[in-house]
């Protein structure tokens, strides 16, 4: 994270990075040897962005680590139940049609509302179609995701062509919205979700063995699954609302984690969160410096690296 703050279009010494941070936090007062511009780059631009990358990476990896044993599907990831499509719909609506009616928080608010709406719609479709089993619940999510994605594409088609480049960048993932005032939401969602899920780690171990085994262990399978689906959807909605749609983190990191620490979710959940945070910080650093001073959408980096690493993981498991 220190390197990610120091490196970019303008490289800043590591000592200067920590000097600014310690001064701002009033931990150790150091006589400034840096310019006001360097201080602004570190404190106002890069540090919030790096923290947001860590929160989002940890959150997406955590959701993937929960959904894979929950659905017993190795391809499950945070975008499985249409949450990402719902968030994209809300963000596109704000960017192309309503304008920034709530100021800088408009896009995250609309994206989060879209994610919540998609989650509610999936649960409603599952109830209407009596989709109590995990396979049918996932299929309901896939169907809703396609419908919402089609509506989002319609919004793009009807929107102002001059503003569509911002939508494309957001849909490919980006951390340009990072501000100190926004960090509380993904931060609280991450740590609150991690605490709750750690208490459910033993239940997740049971669900991974199958519904019959989980029931014999005393678990209320359908209720527990819906509760965990809702929690992961909320966590995904918060993360996607501030970062856009970033792929492969929630799919790839849990598999790498299980290669390292096994399948016990008491170990998998915190390690996956740590690896996800580290991985997305590095991916964002690469996205910022590879074509500097321009930013490459971070989803391009995670897709390229994630796809290759996932093939390697599959090969090792074989």
Domain residue ranges in the chain: 2-317
Work out the burial of residue 216: count CB atoms within 10 Å of its CB; fewer than 13 is exposed, 13-18 middle, 19 or more buried: exposed
Quickly state the pLDDT bin for 317 (edges 50, 70, 90): low
Does pLDDT of 150 surpass 90? yes
Residue predicted with more confidence, 138 or 4? 4
- Among the listed ranges 88-97, 165-174, 185-194, 267-276, which one has the minimum average pLDDT value? 165-174
The per-residue pLDDT for 136 is 76
More confident residue, 135 or 69: 69
Q: Please give the mean pLDDT across all residues of the chain.
A: 86
Check pLDDT > 90 for residue 191: yes
Q: State the pTM of this model.
A: 0.89
**β strands within 80-176, DSSP E:** none
Average pLDDT of the residues in 127-146: 78
Residue 229 has pLDDT above 80, yes or no: yes
Q: Which fold has domain 2-317?
A: ABC transporter involved in vitamin B12 uptake, BtuC (1.10.3470)
Over residues 26-38, the mean pLDDT reads 84
Question: 310: pLDDT confidence band, cut at 50, 70 and 90?
Answer: confident
Q: What is residue 137's predicted lDDT score, i.e. its pLDDT?
A: 75
- Per-residue pLDDT at 30 exceeds 70: yes
| Residue partners of 228: CB distance under 8 A and separation at least 6 | 66, 70, 197, 200, 204
How far, CA to CA in Å, does 246 sit from each of 87, 212, 294, 301?
12, 35, 19, 9
State the pLDDT at residue 318.
Answer: 58
2-16, 91-105, 184-198, 246-260: the lowest-pLDDT one:
91-105
What tens digit of pLDDT does each residue of 255-307 get? 899 989 998 999 999 999 999 999 999 999 999 998 887 888 898 898 888 88
Q: Name the pLDDT band for 193 (thresholds 50, 70, 90).
A: very high
HSE, CB side, 13 Å, CA atoms: give it for residue 258.
21
In this prediction, residue 34 carries a pLDDT of 87
* Count of Cβ atoms closer than 10 Å to residue 23 Cβ: 17
Cβ distance 251 to 64 under 8 Å?
A: yes
Q: Cis ω on the peptide bond leading into residue 34 (within 30° of 0)?
A: no
Residue found under tokens 């989650």: 119
Average pLDDT in the 62-66 region?
Answer: 92
pLDDT of residue 132: 60
Confidence of residue 41 (pLDDT cuts 50, 70, 90): very high
pLDDT of residue 303: 85
Residue corresponding to tokens 């984690």 = 257
End-to-end CA distance of the chain: 34
Query: What letter would DSSP give residue 62?
Result: H
* More reliable by pLDDT, 99 or 206: 206
Give the other-Cβ count within 10 Å of 192's Cβ: 13
Residue 67 has pLDDT above 80, yes or no: yes
- Give the model's confidence band at 238: pLDDT under 50 very low, under 70 low, under 90 confident, else very high: confident
Does the pLDDT at position 93 exceed 80?
A: yes
């Amino acid at each position: 994270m220190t390197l990610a703050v120091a490196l970019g279009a303008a490289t800043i010494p590591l000592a200067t990075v920590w000097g600014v941070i310690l001064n701002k936090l009033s931990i150790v007062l150091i006589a400034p040897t840096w310019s006001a511009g360097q201080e602004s780059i570190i404190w106002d631009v890069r540090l919030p962005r790096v923290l947001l990358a860590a929160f989002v990476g940890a959150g997406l990896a955590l959701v993937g680590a929960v959904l894979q044993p929950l659905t017993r599907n190795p391809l499950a990831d945070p975008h499985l139940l249409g949450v990402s499509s719902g968030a994209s719909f809300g963000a596109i609506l704000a960017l192309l049609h309503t304008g920034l009616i709530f100021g800088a928080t408009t896009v995250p608010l609309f994206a989060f509302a879209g994610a919540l709406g998609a989650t509610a719609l999936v649960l409603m479709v599952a109830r209407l179609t009596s989709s109590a089993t995990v396979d049918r619940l996932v299929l309901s999510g896939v169907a809703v995701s396609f419908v919402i994605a089609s509506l989002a594409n319609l919004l793009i088609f009807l929107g102002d062509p001059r503003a569509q480049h911002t939508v494309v960048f957001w849909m490919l993932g980006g951390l340009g919205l990072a501000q100190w005032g926004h960090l509380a939401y993904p931060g609280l969602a991450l740590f609150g979700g991690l605490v709750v899920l750690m208490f459910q780690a033993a239940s997740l171990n049971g669900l991974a063995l199958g519904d019959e085994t989980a029931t014999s262990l005393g678990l209320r399978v359908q209720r527990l699954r819906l509760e965990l689906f809702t929690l992961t959807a909320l966590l995904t909605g918060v993360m996607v609302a501030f970062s856009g749609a970033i792929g492969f983190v929630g799919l790839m990191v849990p598999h790498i984690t299980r290669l390292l620490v096994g399948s016990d979710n008491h170990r998998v959940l915190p390690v996956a969160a740590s690896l996800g945070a580290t991985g997305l910080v590095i991916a964002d650093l690469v996205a910022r410096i590879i074509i500097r001073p321009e930013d490459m959408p971070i989803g391009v980096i995670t897709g390229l690296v994630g796809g290759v690493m996932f093939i390697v993981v599959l090969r090792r498991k074989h």
